[in-house]
Amino acid sequence: MRIAQIAPLSEAVPPKFYGGTERVVSWITEELVRQGHDVTLFASGDSQTSAKLAACTPEGLRLLGYRDHTASHLAMLHQVHRRAHEFDILHFHIDLLQYPMFEDLYYKCVTTMHGRLDVPDFMPVYKTFTGMPLVSISDNQRLPMPSNSNWLSTIHHGLPAENCPFYPESKGGYLAFLGRISPEKRPDRAIEMAKRSGVPLKIAAKVDKADQEYWDEVIEPMIHHPLIEYIGEINEEQKKDFLGNALALAFPIDWPEPFGLVMIEAMSAGTPVIAFRNGSVPEVIKDGVGGVLCDSMDEAVAAVDKVKTMSRAGVRRHFETAFTAECMVKKYVAAYEDLISRQGEVIKLQKAAPFAPHYGDMNGSARPPISVAAMPA
């Protein structure tokens, strides 16, 4: 297949530091190329890929210091639209900006929704463009969306099995917190887990400007304790030992997490996850196998002892069964093939009635959505 992957421009693909979406785009792209597909990656110019790179900015916009990324993304979308005839599938990873421009090409578009979907500001777009084919990254992520949204499938993220070596034992014996310092990630809960259990906590996380006040007023005063160590932001290589040598990953979130990539990163190393039962967590963590699910701080503290006896080999097997890049891309290819099998019929209808109302028009009938049955896990 001829496939275009359209990535966010904020970070390189893969990112040098934080950037979950860009990492997933890289894993999808590289696995598709490995399987023999003709892939073009639309991304920043400092991206590294074995696919054909269509550089849309010199480097990631965060490094360039851009505050508003909209204009750069619109310029990229114009380039993609001009080249759309070159591809069988256009796979977007930028949420919703492309909907108006690609409404006429919806039959060859796939959009993976990487973020939270309960933001009221975005709902007018979701309600207007209900025919755009969408992929959710967890079943829970879909809940806020209009009932007539055109979901193709739920496809959980996966990462290359060889990315992180298996760590058969926890040499560090600490709890790990990895990601971003923000109220919904609840690093304060991780700190409390460490203090109450007597097990050290290492925090490898960045502080965005939007979360600076939360850091200054809530978290920074809590880390001055012999059991707590703040490391800061770490890169991909540092992450392997950080997760692999940990006793467990603390994932005490307090929001509807769409997926939570760090959970499968930890499990790939054999490190169990202690997670609060919110958002996608029950879909990713099999309780007692990949980690421990919790509904309270008391349960989270008790889980620290439970993970000490868990089989790290069993945790790794859970990852290999469901969360590798190969598993993920197998499901994406099935979705692509189903879309392609329906394209001839859609194009014939469009030629027969070129001025028919577009789906989502206030006074027009909706286009019949393309529907792809979800593949079994």
Going across the sheet that includes 291-294, the strands are 228-230, 201-206, 175-180, 248-251, 273-276, 291-294
Report CA torsion sign: 170, 228, 299, 295: negative
What is the structure's pLDDT at 244?
Answer: 97
What is the structure's pLDDT at 64?
Answer: 85
What is the structure's pLDDT at 376?
Answer: 38
Report CA torsion sign: 356, 358, 362, 365: positive
Beta strand spans in the chain (E): 2-6, 38-44, 52-57, 89-92, 109-113, 134-136, 151-154, 175-180, 201-206, 228-230, 248-251, 273-276, 291-294
Mean pLDDT by 10 residues, the chain (377 residues): 98 86 97 98 98 97 88 98 98 96 95 95 95 97 96 96 93 95 97 98 93 97 97 91 98 96 97 98 97 98 97 98 97 95 68 48 40 42
Q: What share of the chain is helix, strand, coil (3-state, %, to 5)?
A: 40, 15, 40
User: Nearest 5°: phi and psi at 110?
Assistant: -130, 130
Structure-block tokens of residue 19? 């950037």
What is the structure's pLDDT at 343?
Answer: 77
Cα–Cα distance for residue pair 152/374, rounded to 1 Å: 7
Nearest-Å Rg of the Cα atoms of the chain is 21
Contact call for residues 249 and 266 (beta carbons, < 8 A): yes
> What residue ranges define each of the domains in the chain, with the CATH number in brackets?
2-159+325-352 (3.40.50.2000), 175-322 (3.40.50.2000)
Structure-block tokens of residue 318? 């859970």
Three-state secondary structure call for residue 229: strand
Residue 343: how many CB atoms within 10 A of its CB?
A: 14
What is the structure's pLDDT at 220?
Answer: 96
- 111 burial class (0-12, 13-18, 19+ CB within 10 angstroms)? buried
What is the structure's pLDDT at 353?
Answer: 53
Contact call for residues 5 and 49 (beta carbons, < 8 A): no
- Contacts (Cβ under 8 Å, ≥6 apart) of 242: 176, 178, 202, 204, 231, 234
What letters, b where the CB count within 10 A reaches 16 and e where it falls short, cover 347-371?
Answer: eeeeeeeeeeebbbeeeeeebebbe
Cα–Cα distance for residue pair 124/79, rounded to 1 Å: 26
Please report where in the chains the tokens 């790179």 appear, as a residue: 53
What is the structure's pLDDT at 354?
Answer: 52
Whose CA is closest to 346, among 129, 153, 104, 110?
A: 104
Residue 223: how many CB atoms within 10 A of its CB?
A: 15
Cα–Cα distance for residue pair 201/248, rounded to 1 Å: 10
What is the structure's pLDDT at 363?
Answer: 33
What is the structure's pLDDT at 67?
Answer: 85
Contact call for residues 27 and 160 (beta carbons, < 8 A): yes
Beta bridge partners of 109: 90
What is the structure's pLDDT at 184?
Answer: 95
